[in-house]
A and B are shown apart, each in its own frame.
Chain A
């Protein structure tokens, strides 16, 4: 899993590398797997055999094929889809043809992409073949449902070849074209790519940008958009970041779900800031849940927050989202931006344990305390919620977040973990245990190849509300060193 990569100290690299995949823990999932498609539910013949009947659930395996010129946000979209599906417990993986090609030609110049360059053409086809072969192999495991083939796939011949290959393997294809002719957006993307693409690692940014523009010209010469000739294919064509979307021949629910998500995406550069509320009276007493006021130190954090935010965001227009609980509204009250409060951002409902301390819970509900440690993601408090439940109710928030630009969210520990897991692709096993200290502002910037994270700690002490798996209830003073615990481990970084 990506978060296991030891992070460098400052700008830590986000989780998704080419070819990474998420394997949500499905074993102990309750029978209501949210949004899980109906195909392939019988894993490796387990129940099918146990049922003793010859009826098999059908396989739904989808290859999402990206289509479009370079700098149209294809890789960004591909990575987001993988993360989103993983978050919803659907196993997906991205196959980036560029990374296959890179093994032979790590830093190609633009002329490599000239169609009259026979050698370049051959190598690129070989990379595509390699990627498709690996993908087909990956699909042999019954848990694997959606693959994303990330490449320009800019000609009809290439697309037909992919479709035929997939048809032969019984894999559905969904072509996703991002077509964009807004200059400013393309330029922003070029800047983005030249900063982050492995093709230009260590090169002069100006030269890289120029080479990249030339590469785009090479592709433009042969580029064919999806059109009537391909009306037999299942495709989704997104024109100018969703101002028009054409959807052709959707075949099943899972495909429609992917298209729904794509329609909510935009590829404009933006960041999301998230923070927990300031320290509350309940944090001081070690109680969970409730609707307590901020402590004196919490109020101090609220006062410092505008400064902390403006240091990071500059004059960017922001919107602040809070939950409906007092402590988040109080934390956001000095922020000079428009505010919205969302019921869906309220803290995980701890049911009968609301208002108790971890020590109380351990004493009163010892079995529950243990059960929660064993499978925190799926554990549902008596009369309350599990992390899985929170993910379900956050779905509209995530969609809204995808459609918005710069947002600052002030919310609660469990909710923050779920939102963080969505952006960073953390596993269901680890995300409920992630440590997010109080009085710390996190900035997330989704980029084509990763989500970047930055943490800014306010100089206001607070209790730690973090409890390590299997440990008794801790209730420590002062922020402990987070690098020693939790996951994904990212060192807090003091921003001058």
Chain B
């Protein structure tokens, strides 16, 4: 009951608990990394895999359904993993469904204080199993933070929980999502909860569904105690989606403070994020010269803008067709560019249509250092040792005077937090290297995969952040000349391992059909879906050679 969306997704993925790897465009946030690999923006590493200045922590959510608990849990896990903290989410609802079967109804009194013996037994069994898994993760799998996503409605239950973990030398911090503003709850229910099959059918208007859902919650969970100042526990109370935040007894721990910092930037409203490349420039290969768009680049910017606007319009139509009221409007779209001329100019067409454009200096591309303007062959000739090192670890290796992807990820942290903060839809126009890193954050890609993500110019990537996991979609930009489509020519050309290299993601070694320019969607779904650049195939054609 706590999250119908979770139920929905769990039902679609039958072997939910055994599923260690996501398959398609869905992000990998619920997967346990198979091997210990350094996280995208880790500042330093330790042998145990735990940051040293914090012990093991359970973060337990508190709050009634539809307050954004799952969203907060997942977003937090995404950020912590990004920082290199081994984090895993345990949704209590998943465990309950496992015991009950995904289609069975939850007993009416399951959440009641004075439930029947049968329900209490079931409840205890579910909780027991979930906590066992949490402790196993923390004690035996080098986990540092376990996020325990549950309602945790009663003060006594919370105290007992903290005490139980304390015995194992694990600190507990609670995060309560508290809403005093009914509109936020209703919007949340409307956007994520009533997409459930229960509310499909002619009899249900959205308003009616929202009311029914809230009624059901109130009957199901009649007793709920908010966190109060008297409680000794460490807690963070997020009031009205972060408008006000109360932090209690958290000051003794680095990670807890860091978490609060992140939560200050988080909101629970839904919006869309789009990625696209900048147009081609006149002085094609130069990083240092801040060149203007070529004629083709300008034409690209118009075609891209039109494709995006048309896509958003069709999404809206689809929404209305699916029963949304006529008055439904699109969220405002803001365009973010770097301060480089080509990205700013690519946004000009959209600016002329009235979209707001903001420039962010951190979003300038990976600095290619001495490799700028060099062909792949020349780089191999001049820096054979660097090439060898790069092939071993393309994520962390820096060419002379260059930035590594890791450097880029660290410098993009403010952008990531501002992206979380942004309430409007956002289009990011940036260099491919920047898109790779941001995509890697949003879809929880491993550091090893990030340098190989590919963003052909004829596609806009749409990322749909959702509570349980993010999804990405590709929007084709029609009518572009083939020669401007392939992956970034101004990039360092080495990073592609020679064919036969082992891909860390199962199924990614499958060569794609066609020229490799645009991933055909069905094929991508079968083969693992990350937009990898020429996985296992030949290196991209060098336009200069």
Q: Which of B217-275 contact A (CB under 8 A)?
A: 229, 242-252, 254, 257-258, 260-261, 264-265
Question: Assuming A53-B348, A248-B244, A256-B264, is B44 touching A47 (CB within 8 A)?
Answer: no
Q: Are B414 and A244 in contact (CB under 8 A)?
A: no
Q: Are A247 and B52 in contact (CB under 8 A)?
A: no
Which of A36-44, A149-157, A472-480 is the interface stretch? A36-44
Q: Are B341 and A253 in contact (CB under 8 A)?
A: no
A244 cross-chain contacts in B, Cβ below 8 A: 229, 246-249
Q: Which residue of B lies closest to A256 (CB)?
A: B264
Which residue of A35, A36, A243 contacts B251 across the interface (Cβ within 8 Å)? Answer: A243
Q: Are A32 and B403 in contact (CB under 8 A)?
A: yes
Cα separation A260 to B263 with both chains bound (whole Å): 11
CB distance from A364 to the nearest CB of B (A): 14
CB distance from B218 to the nearest CB of A (A): 27
Cα separation A33 to B411 with both chains bound (whole Å): 7
CB distance from A328 to the nearest CB of B (A): 16
Q: Which residue of A lies closest to B255 (CB)?
A: A396
A249 at the interface (CB under 8 A from B): yes
Q: Are A344 and B43 in contact (CB under 8 A)?
A: yes
Q: Are B261 and A257 in contact (CB under 8 A)?
A: yes
Q: Are B345 and A36 in contact (CB under 8 A)?
A: no
Q: Are A53 and B249 in contact (CB under 8 A)?
A: no
Question: Assuming A32-B408, A36-B361, A55-B351, is B339 touching A243 (CB within 8 A)?
Answer: no
B264 cross-chain contacts in A, Cβ below 8 A: 247, 250, 256, 259-260
B421 at the interface (CB under 8 A from A): yes
Q: Are B400 and A382 in contact (CB under 8 A)?
A: yes
A218 at the interface (CB under 8 A from B): no
B133 at the interface (CB under 8 A from A): no
Cα separation A36 to B339 with both chains bound (whole Å): 14
CB distance from B235 to the nearest CB of A (A): 10
B473 at the interface (CB under 8 A from A): no
Q: Which of B354-408 contact A (CB under 8 A)?
A: 357-362, 364, 367, 398, 400-401, 403, 407-408
Question: Assuming A34-B411, A38-B360, A51-B341, is B46 touching A343 (CB within 8 A)?
Answer: yes
B344 cross-chain contacts in A, Cβ below 8 A: 51, 53, 55
A342 at the interface (CB under 8 A from B): yes
The size bracket of the interface on A is 35 or more
Q: Are B257 and A38 in contact (CB under 8 A)?
A: no
CB distance from B240 to the nearest CB of A (A): 10
Q: Are B45 and A253 in contact (CB under 8 A)?
A: no
Q: Are A31 and B367 in contact (CB under 8 A)?
A: yes
B347 cross-chain contacts in A, Cβ below 8 A: 55
CB distance from B355 to the nearest CB of A (A): 11
Q: Which residue of A lies closest to B345 (CB)?
A: A53
Q: Which of A50-109 contact B (CB under 8 A)?
A: 50-51, 53-58
Which residue of A32, A47, A252, A256 contacts B261 across the interface (Cβ within 8 Å)? Answer: A256
CB distance from B120 to the nearest CB of A (A): 35
CB distance from A407 to the nearest CB of B (A): 12
Q: Are A342 and B43 in contact (CB under 8 A)?
A: no
B283 at the interface (CB under 8 A from A): no
Q: Are A263 and B257 in contact (CB under 8 A)?
A: yes
B53 at the interface (CB under 8 A from A): yes
Cα separation A246 to B244 with both chains bound (whole Å): 7
A241 at the interface (CB under 8 A from B): yes
B265 cross-chain contacts in A, Cβ below 8 A: 250, 253, 256
A56 cross-chain contacts in B, Cβ below 8 A: 359
Q: Which residue of B lies closest to A383 (CB)?
A: B398
- Listed by A's residue number, 14 A-B pairs whose Cβ atoms lie within 8 Å are A30-B367, A41-B360, A47-B339, A57-B358, A57-B360, A246-B246, A250-B242, A256-B261, A342-B52, A343-B46, A344-B44, A380-B401, A396-B44, A396-B53
Q: Which 8 A-B pairs have the closest CB atoms?
A: A242-B251, A32-B411, A260-B261, A41-B361, A256-B264, A245-B247, A247-B245, A38-B360
Task: Using A51-B345, A340-B52, A392-B410 as known contacts, list a sample of 4 further A-B pairs with CB atoms less than 8 Å apart, ordered by residue number in A.
Answer: A36-B362, A38-B360, A56-B359, A248-B245
Residues of B within 8 A of A (CB): 43-46, 51-53, 229, 242-252, 254, 257-258, 260-261, 264-265, 290, 339, 341, 344-345, 347-348, 351, 357-362, 364, 367, 398, 400-401, 403, 407-408, 410-411, 413-415, 417-418, 421
Residues of A within 8 A of B (CB): 30-38, 41-42, 47, 50-51, 53-58, 231, 241-250, 252-253, 256-257, 259-260, 263-264, 266, 340, 342-344, 380, 382-383, 392-393, 395-396, 399-400, 403
